[in-house]
Amino acid sequence: MSKYKLSQIGERMNKLTGVRAIMKDIMETLRGSGAKDFINLSPGNPLILPQVEQLWRDITNELLNSKEYGGVVCRYGASQGYEPLIEAVVEDFNTRYGLKLTSRNILITPGSQALYFYASNAFGGVTGDGQLRKTVLPLCPDYTGYGGVSLNPDAVVSFRPHLEIDSQKHRFKYRLNLDTLKIENDTGCVIFSRPCNPTGNVLTDDEVREIARRAKAVNAPVFVDAAYGPPFPSLNFTPLQPIFDEPIVHCMSLSKAGLPGERIGIAVGDPSIMEALECFQSNACIHSPRYGQAVLARAIKSGQLVNISEEVIRPFYRKKIELLEERFDALMPSVPWYLHRGEGAIFAWLWLDKLPITDTELYQKLKAKGVLVVPGSSFFPGLRDPWEHTKQCIRISLTASEAELAKGVEVISGTVRELYRDI
C-alpha cells in the first residue's frame, strides 16, 4: 500500500485484479518452497520452444547486422507504429484474406492488454454529458485482464452463457446467450477473446457477426482478442478465420508466438477507431517499443512466422490438450466433471459440478499436494448476478511437460475423488 494519498484512479489501479492476485500467491509459494517441489499448471507464459527461439535469434542477428539497426533503436518513431511492420501487416493480410487495407487500418501497441485499456477508456466510461458507457464482455468466463481495463469499475459488464453439456463424454461448451446479451445505446465498446483464455472456447462466425450487427446499430466498436488466433500464433484447434466486418477490430498479440517480453499488440480495423486509439497511445507512452517491431516485421514479411505458428506452435499444444483429455478420461472418478471442449489456446478448463468446496479451497488443497492451478472464479469479470458455477472451475495450463501434466491430472483426479466421497 502507498503511504501517499492516491486519487480514485490511483486506488483503482493500485489493486491486483483477477488472476494476478492468485499469481502473486503462486510466485511467493514457488520462491518459498522452490519450483522443483511443485508441478506448476498455472502459467500463462508460453513455453520457450527451441525452433521458435531460434527464429527470433536469427532475425535479431539480421537486424543487428543491418543498416536499419541505428534508426530502429536510436530514434523516436510514429505513434502509430514502426512503418515497415505496418506495411508488412497490410501486405500479408491483403494477400492472405483478400482485403483492401491501407496503413490507416493498423495500429501497433505495447501488447494487447494496453490496446484493451485504450479501447475501454477511449470508448467506455463517463461521457461529457455524464452518461456511463459500458465495456461489454458478451460471454463469461473470459480473459481475467478485462476486469482491470476500465478506469471506472462499474463500466465492465459480462453475461452468463448457456452450458451445452455432453454428460456421457464429460465435455461441455459455453454458448453465447443472445436472449440476455445487452448491446444497447449505453455500450461504449465490446471485447471478447477468440479462442478464449481461459476455456479454449471459440465463438462461431454467426455469433461474432451477430455481436457485430448489434454493436454497429449503436455505433460501438467490437474488439476481437485474437491473442491465440490466426494467422499467428494460430493456436486454434478447430477451423477459424478472422472476421473483418465493420465495426470489428481484429487484435493480435505476439506473446504466444514467442515474444511476450517485447510487448507487441496489433490492431486491424476502421481508420476512425485506429486514430482515436493512436491519440490515446500518443498521450500515454508516445509509441510502442521499436526493437521488437523491427524483428517482427522481418518475420511476417518472410513468411516464417506463419509457418512456424502452424507447423510448430499449434501441433505442440494440440498434442498437450489431447494428452490431458486422455488422462482425465482414464483417471477421473464417476462424478459430475466436465472439460471444456479444447478448441484453442494453451489452457484446459475443468468444471466440477456440485463441487463440495470452492474453487479457491480446491486450489489450496492441490497446492498442499504439490500441484498449482488457477481458481476459475478469477475469470468472470463484470458478471453482476451470483452464479455457483463461477466457484466450480479451475484453469490448467498446457505449458508443463507431458510427464508433469500426467502427474498433475493424477493428483487432481485423486483429490476430486476424495472430495466427492466425503459428501
CATH code, domain carrying 97: 3.40.640.10
Relative to beta strand 187-193, strand 222-225 is parallel
Q: Is residue 373 within 8 Å of residue 379, measured between CB atoms?
A: no
**Which position has the higher pLDDT, 357 or 19?**
357
Residues 354, 269 within the same domain: no
Q: What is the pLDDT of residue 423?
A: 61
Q: How large a percentage of the chain has pLDDT more than 70?
A: 97
Residue 42 has pLDDT above 80, yes or no: yes
The percentage of residues in the chain with a pLDDT greater than 90, rounded to a whole number, is 88
Asked if 191 and 269 sit in the same domain, the reply is: yes
Instruction: Specify whether 346 is located in the same domain as 277.
Output: no
* Average pLDDT value over all residues in the chain: 94
Looking at residue 367, its amino acid is K
My answer on whether 377 and 321 are in the same domain is yes
* Arithmetic mean of pLDDT, 398-419: 97
Are 46 and 170 in the same domain? no
* 364 assigned to some structural domain: yes
Helix H or strand E encompassing 157: strand 156-158
Can you tell me which residue has the cell 517480453? 261
Do the Cβ atoms of 242 and 230 come closer than 8 Å?
yes
Question: Shortest CA distance to 288 belongs to which of 315, 264, 260?
Answer: 264
Q: Running DSSP on this structure, what letter comes out for residue 284?
A: H
Q: Which of 218, 200, 190, 17 is closest to 119 using CA atoms?
A: 190
33 band by pLDDT with thresholds 50, 70 and 90? low
Helices 314-331 and 402-421, interaxial angle, to 10°? 30
Element (H, E) at 407: helix 402-421
pLDDT in tens, 288-306: 999 999 999 999 999 999 9
Are 51 and 309 a contacting pair, CB within 8 Å?
no
pLDDT in tens, 196-247: 999 999 999 999 999 999 999 999 999 999 999 999 999 999 999 999 999 9
pLDDT value, residue 23: 75
CATH number (domain holding residue 15): 3.90.1150.10
Longest Cα pair distance anywhere in the chain, in angstroms? 69
How many Cβ atoms sit within 10 Å of the Cβ of residue 265? 24
* 60: in domain: no
Q: Which residue shows C-alpha cell 503511504? A: 3
Write the CA distances from 421 to 72, 321, 417, integer angstroms: 62, 28, 6
CA Rg value for the chain: 21
> How many folded domains does the chain comprise?
2
Residue 178, domain member (yes or no)? yes
Per-residue b or e along 122-160, where b marks 16 or more CB atoms closer than 10 Å to that residue's CB: bbbbeeeeeeebbbbbbbbbbbbbbbbbbbbeebbbbbb
pLDDT digits (tens, 9 = 90+) for 235-278: 999 999 999 999 999 999 999 999 999 999 999 999 999 999 99
Q: Give tens-digit pLDDT for 241-252.
A: 999 999 999 999
- Quick check: 410 pLDDT over 70? yes
The domain boundary, picked from 254, 281, 303, lies at 303
Question: What residue type is 386 in one-letter code?
Answer: P
Count of residues in the chain:
423
Give residue-wise pLDDT tens across range 319-360. Answer: 999 999 999 999 999 999 999 999 999 999 999 999 999 999
Do 131 and 252 belong together in one domain? yes
Range of the domain at 33: 8-51+308-421
Q: Would the pLDDT of 181 be above 90?
A: yes
Q: Is the pLDDT of residue 169 over 70?
A: yes
Global pTM? 0.95
